[in-house]
Amino acid sequence: MSCWQCGLHLRENSECCSHYIQTEVLEEIIKAALKSVAGSVLEDSGAFFQELQEQQAAQQTRISEEEQEEIRKLDARIAEIDVSIKALYWHSLFLSDL
C-alpha cells in the first residue's frame, strides 16, 4: 500500500501533525477535482477563463502589496542606517578635536 505524507505539519506555526493519505484515495480526489474543472470549462468556457483572469489579477495585487511592504521596510532600515552613520561621523569629529 503506497501513501502520501502530508507536509503541512512542516510549515511554521502549523497545528497539523504528521499524517498520511493512501495514494488511491488521493488519486480519486484529484480525478474528481479535474472532472469538476473540466465540466466547468465545457459548460461555460468564457466564465471559466474570466474567473481565472480575476484570480490572476488578485494574485498579482497581493504580490505587489507584499513587494511594497518589503520596500517600506527596507526604506525604514536605510533611514536607520543613515542616522547611525551621521552619528558616527559627528562622534568621530568630536573625538578628533580632543
User: Using 50, 70 and 90 to split pLDDT, how confident is the model at 98?
Assistant: low
- pTM, rounded to two decimals: 0.46
Work out the pLDDT band at 16, boundaries 50, 70, 90. confident
Mind listing the pLDDT tens digit for each residue in 30-75? Answer: 999 999 999 988 999 999 899 999 999 999 898 899 999 999 999 9
Residue with cell 480525478: 31
- Rounded to a whole number of angstroms, the CA Rg of the chain reads 27
Task: Return the HEC string of 17-74.
Answer: CCCEEEHHHHHHHHHHHHHHHHHHHHHCHHHHHHHHHHHHHHHHHHHHHHHHHHHHHH
**Helix or strand holding residue 78 (H, E):** helix 45-97
